[in-house]
């Protein structure tokens, strides 16, 4: 079917369209109620269907001839190890891990927080939760104790799974002190903390709460898959919003499995048995969807890579993994390619490997900038495909539908709306804009399967954040336009969210942390353009008692404070002490103007500015 026909069918009759896609999965009980409206007025997919995501990802394949096929390749340059798991081996390990969780009281609907580095146990424990119908919440390793504590309090897990350490290139990052500090800070204490001791560090254990992973496994017996409803939650993944409190995006079992399975063929042009690699981290949505769930739902081999694009050991690392494991499609964030390009501008290291297996390169997480696109296209001679999505959707909203038909791409665009997503550009008042007119990007309801239907424990916040701005539409938080050919161009966030090295962060949250410093009277944090990481946070601070203050010392303390409260991943390294912040007469800080000024873009000084000299003063400091 052509893209146009497929897309039109998805918009004209979403229920029939998704019912047909759902038929490709082995439900215990297929849904009769494909799209329904719940008691909060939210549309939900496959409410009365019954399935188990782990069954679909593992047991189904073992039962249908893929038992000996490699399901998972763990490739870890930082520990100099590689390990392969067949579908059968992975199913058995997951079943045992599920048994271990069960021994510690985890049942259907219970939450399990996973704070693990990129090791097989991360994927195994996610699937083990799915097997029990429990809800996992993975927290990225680069977050500091307060971030973990907020998530513990919100998700209220029975069990926390962790390891003694992660490895950042050659630095051992001890996880257990972070976990201990987070549990100390949190009001909610998990009953059990299961700790995997890695050879690089030994975690100290707390009697009565902590148990050794290997011992706990030895005490367990395999657990079976527990049927869940299509709308039962599979996981909660916290993501940054405008305020300091992260939002727990809830992913439902049914819609998630249907959409991800469909995406593997329609977007990624991947067949069961192919090797697919998302070079991301399980702590982010890309890792959830495309390291763990989608490749396994589709019967592929997935790769879990514990390393970096550069320095593990060099900028040829990605090309080595691709050639060694026969990767057909690579998916990563543009920042990773920019890092490689910086180290190896002529892609000489790639020349050392046979990359004939590689058929496509996918990028997401931030806009694929045209110079990086061109560098990839010139050096690798395979389609280089940008696609746009967010934690909220769990899969792409706009993409080249490469598996439906080869589509010409336009550098800077993430191509067309994906079937199911009725993407529209709206003005501030909610009127639809025409081709090439820039505005707020919204998706007309119903959203397709897999998209969030609530924020964990707070359906009102979900409605307020996403559904109330433009009734009948889901607001994406991104701005952009659609050209005359239907190509979607994402121009960036219209809120306080920034994207640093493909990591989504909130400047609002950083402002809350910076504002806690006793010397800070007020502050603003913006994302400034950065050649390597896309954006980097930059603070502007006004000090209390400016006389006698040591601005450099305060800035150093602020950098440490953000690192301590949010984590190294925030990459907050720069702040400027200023006399006053530019504001409108009603007191709103002119963040957009500040950003344009810092980036060296053209800007118009708003007529509502209270004191134009505040901008001049900052300009002189830059
Ligand atoms: N655990 C602990 N610390 C972590 C971490 C983790 N899982 N991930 C990152 N950090 C730390 C880094 O070590 C670094 O610490 P430092 O300030 O002490 O040096 C800090 O967080 C910032 O990390 P990062 O923004 O990743 O910068 P980097 O300079 O270490 O690496 C890239 C830059 C481009 C190589 C790296 O960001 C990358 O590979 N990005 C790929 C993008 C990606 O995976 N995105 C996920 C969504 S698709
Ligand atoms: P996350 O929820 O971490 O996946 O981040 C989602 C945000 O990243 C989106 O709202 C966009 O701002 C940005 N983003 C992701 N992919 C792209 C892309 N291909 N082009 C432009 N922006 C993107």
Q: Which residues contact 254 (CB under 8 A, 6 or more apart)?
A: 22, 31, 45, 46, 49, 51, 229, 230, 231, 449
Please give the share of the chain, as a percent, with pLDDT higher than 70.
Answer: 100
Q: Among residues 351, 350, 378, 355, which one has the least CA distance to residue 277?
A: 355
Pocket test for ligand 2, best of 366, 413, 438, 475 (most atoms within 8 A of CB): 366
Phi and psi angles of residue 306, each rounded to the nearest 5 degrees, phi first:
-100, 80
pLDDT tens per residue, range 435-447: 999 999 999 999 9
Which residue has the CA at smallest separation from atom 23 of ligand 1? Answer: 569
For 469-474, the CB contacts below 8 A with 24+ separation are: 469/430, 469/440, 470/426, 470/430, 470/440, 470/442, 471/430, 472/444, 472/445, 473/424, 473/426, 473/430, 473/442, 473/443, 473/444, 473/445, 474/442, 474/443, 474/445, 474/447
Max alpha carbon distance in the chain (Å)?
Answer: 75
C-beta separation of 505 from 496 below 8 A = no
- Please determine, for residue 239, whether its predicted confidence score (pLDDT) is greater than 90: yes
310-to-78, 111, 221, 316 alpha-carbon distances in Å = 12, 35, 41, 7
Q: Tell me, what's the pLDDT at 245?
A: 81
Per-residue pLDDT band for 296 (boundaries 50, 70, 90) equals very high
| Residue 533 alpha carbon to ligand 1 centre in Å | 10
Least confident of 199-213, 414-428, 598-612: 598-612
Neighbours of 445 (CB within 10 A): 15
> How is residue 245 written in tokens?
């409190």
DSSP class of 447: P
Q: How far apart are CA 363 and CA 337, in angstroms?
A: 9
Least confident of 146-155, 477-486, 606-615: 606-615
Neighbours of 110 (CB within 10 A): 18
The pocket around ligand 1, CB under 6 angstroms, is made up of 141-142, 166, 168, 173, 280-281, 284, 286, 308-310, 333, 335-336, 339, 365, 500-503, 568-569, 571
Closest atom, ligand 2, to C-alpha of 392:
2
Per-residue pLDDT band for 246 (boundaries 50, 70, 90) equals confident
Residues pairing with 277 in the sheet: 330
Q: Tell me, what's the pLDDT at 549?
A: 79
- Looking at 23-63, list the stretches that DSSP marks H as alpha helix, in order from N- to C-terminal side: 53-54, 60-61
| Residue 569 alpha carbon to ligand 1 centre in Å | 6
Per DSSP, the three-state class of 118 is: coil
Q: Which residues contact 489 (CB under 8 A, 6 or more apart)?
A: 412, 413, 414, 480, 481, 482, 483
| Residue 92 alpha carbon to ligand 1 centre in Å | 32
SS3 track for 401-439: CCCCCCCCCCCCCCCEECCCCEEEEECCCCCECCCCCCE
- Please determine, for residue 67, whether its predicted confidence score (pLDDT) is greater than 80: yes
Name the residue ranges covered by the structural domains of the chain: 84-226, 500-621
Q: Tell me, what's the pLDDT at 202?
A: 98
> What value does the mean pLDDT take over residues 318-335?
98
Strand pairing report for 275-278 and 247-252 = unpaired
Closest atom, ligand 1, to C-alpha of 279:
44
Closest atom, ligand 2, to C-alpha of 497:
12
Q: How far apart are CA 437 and CA 18, in angstroms?
A: 31
CATH topology of domain 500-621: GMP Synthetase; Chain A, domain 3 (3.30.300)
The pocket around ligand 2, CB under 6 angstroms, is made up of 239, 284-285, 364-367, 386-391, 414, 477-478, 490, 493, 499, 504
> What value does the mean pLDDT take over residues 485-503?
94
- Please determine, for residue 345, whether its predicted confidence score (pLDDT) is greater than 80: yes
Length of the chain: 622
> What value does the mean pLDDT take over residues 519-527?
96
| Residue 104 alpha carbon to ligand 2 centre in Å | 37
Q: Tell me, what's the pLDDT at 318?
A: 98
Neighbours of 616 (CB within 10 A): 12
Per-residue pLDDT band for 427 (boundaries 50, 70, 90) equals very high
Neighbours of 188 (CB within 10 A): 15
141-to-91, 136, 163, 416, 440 alpha-carbon distances in Å = 25, 15, 10, 34, 33
Burial tier of 77 (Cβ tally within 10 Å: 0-12, 13-18, 19+): buried
Neighbours of 250 (CB within 10 A): 22
Global pTM value:
0.96
- Please determine, for residue 470, whether its predicted confidence score (pLDDT) is greater than 80: yes
> What value does the mean pLDDT take over residues 309-322?
98
Closest atom, ligand 2, to C-alpha of 284:
3
CATH topology of domain 84-226: Rossmann fold (3.40.50)
Closest atom, ligand 1, to C-alpha of 173:
2
> What value does the mean pLDDT take over residues 366-382?
96
> What value does the mean pLDDT take over residues 380-387?
97
Which residue has the CA at smallest separation from atom 7 of ligand 1? Answer: 141
pLDDT tens per residue, range 525-581: 999 999 999 999 999 999 997 677 789 999 999 999 999 999 999 999 999 999 999
What ligand is nearest to the CA atom of residue 477? 2
Reduced to 3 DSSP states, what percent helix, strand and coil does the chain have, rounded to the nearest 5? Answer: 35, 25, 40
> What value does the mean pLDDT take over residues 498-526?
95
Q: Tell me, what's the pLDDT at 527?
A: 97
C-beta separation of 240 from 505 below 8 A = yes
Q: Tell me, what's the pLDDT at 259?
A: 98
- Please determine, for residue 139, whether its predicted confidence score (pLDDT) is greater than 80: yes
Pocket test for ligand 2, best of 247, 291, 365, 501 (most atoms within 8 A of CB): 365
Higher local confidence (pLDDT), 564 or 246 = 564
Closest atom, ligand 1, to C-alpha of 166:
1
State the average pLDDT for the chain.
97
> How is residue 593 written in tokens?
């103007």
> What value does the mean pLDDT take over residues 433-462?
98
């Amino acid at each position: 079917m052509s893209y146009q026909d497929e897309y039109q069918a998805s918009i004209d009759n979403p229920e029939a369209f998704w019912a047909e896609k759902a038929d490709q999965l082995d439900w215990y009980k297929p849904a009769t109620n494909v799209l329904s409206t719940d008691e909060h007025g939210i549309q939900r997919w496959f409410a009365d269907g019954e399935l188990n995501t782990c069954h679909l990802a593992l047991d189904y394949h073992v039962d249908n001839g893929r038992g000996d096929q490699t399901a998972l390749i763990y490739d870890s340059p930082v520990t100099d190890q590689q390990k392969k798991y067949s579908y059968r081996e992975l199913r058995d390990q997951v079943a045992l891990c599920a048994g271990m969780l069960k021994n510690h009281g985890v049942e259907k609907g219970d939450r399990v927080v996973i704070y693990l580095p990129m090791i097989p146990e991360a994927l195994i424990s996610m699937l083990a939760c799915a097997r029990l119908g429990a809800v996992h919440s993975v927290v990225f390793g680069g977050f500091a104790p307060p971030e973990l504590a907020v998530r513990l309090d919100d998700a209220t897990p029975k069990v926390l799974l962790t390891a003694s350490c992660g490895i950042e290139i050659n630095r051992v990052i001890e996880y257990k002190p972070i976990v201990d500090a987070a549990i100390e800070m949190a009001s909610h204490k998990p009953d059990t903390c299961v700790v995997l001791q890695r050879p690089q560090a030994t975690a100290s254990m707390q009697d009565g709460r902590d148990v050794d992973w290997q011992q706990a496994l030895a005490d367990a017996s395999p657990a079976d898959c527990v049927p869940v409803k299509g709308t039962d939650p599979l996981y909660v993944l916290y993501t940054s919003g405008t305020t300091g409190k992260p939002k727990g995006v809830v992913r439902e079992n049914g819609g998630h499995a249907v959409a991800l399975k469909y995406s593997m063929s329609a977007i990624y042009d991947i067949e069961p048995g192919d090797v697919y690699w998302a070079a991301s981290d399980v702590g982010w949505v890309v890792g959830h969807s495309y390291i763990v769930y989608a490749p396994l739902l589709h019967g592929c081999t997935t790769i879990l890579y514990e390393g970096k694009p550069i320095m593990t050991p060099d900028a040829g690392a990605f090309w080595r993994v691709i050639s060694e494991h026969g990767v057909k499609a690579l998916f990563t964030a543009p920042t990773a390619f920019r890092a490689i390009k910086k180290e190896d501008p002529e892609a000489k290291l790639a020349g050392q490997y046979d990359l004939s297996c590689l058929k496509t390169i996918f990028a997401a997480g931030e806009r694929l900038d045209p110079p990086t696109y061109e560098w990839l296209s010139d050096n690798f001679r395979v389609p280089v495909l940008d696609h746009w999505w967010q934690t909220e959707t769990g899969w792409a909203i706009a993409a080249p539908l490469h598996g439906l038909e080869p589509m010409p791409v336009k550098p800077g665009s993430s191509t067309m709306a994906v079937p199911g997503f009725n993407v529209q550009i709206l003005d501030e008042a909610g009127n639809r804009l025409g081709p090439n007119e820039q505005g707020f990007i919204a998706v007309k309801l119903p959203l397709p399967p897999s998209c969030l239907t609530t924020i964990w424990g707070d359906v009102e916040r979900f409605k307020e954040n996403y559904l109330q701005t433009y009734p009948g539409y889901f607001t994406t938080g991104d701005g952009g336009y659609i050209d005359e050919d239907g190509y979607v161009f994402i121009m960036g966030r219209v809120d306080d969210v920034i994207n640093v090295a493909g990591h989504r962060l909130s400047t609002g949250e950083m402002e809350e942390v910076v504002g806690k410093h006793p010397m800070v009277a007020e502050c603003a944090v913006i994302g400034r353009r950065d050649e390597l990481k896309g954006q980097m946070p930059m603070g502007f601070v006004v000090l209390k008692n400016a006389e006698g203050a040591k601005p450099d010392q305060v800035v150093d303390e602020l950098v440490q404070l953000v690192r301590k409260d949010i984590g190294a991943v925030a990459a907050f390294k720069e702040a400027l002490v200023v006399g006053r912040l530019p504001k409108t007469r009603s007191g709103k800080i002119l963040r957009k103007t500040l950003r344009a000024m810092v980036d060296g873009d053209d800007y118009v000084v708003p007529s509502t500015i209270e004191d134009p000299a505040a901008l001049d003063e900052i300009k002189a400091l830059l």
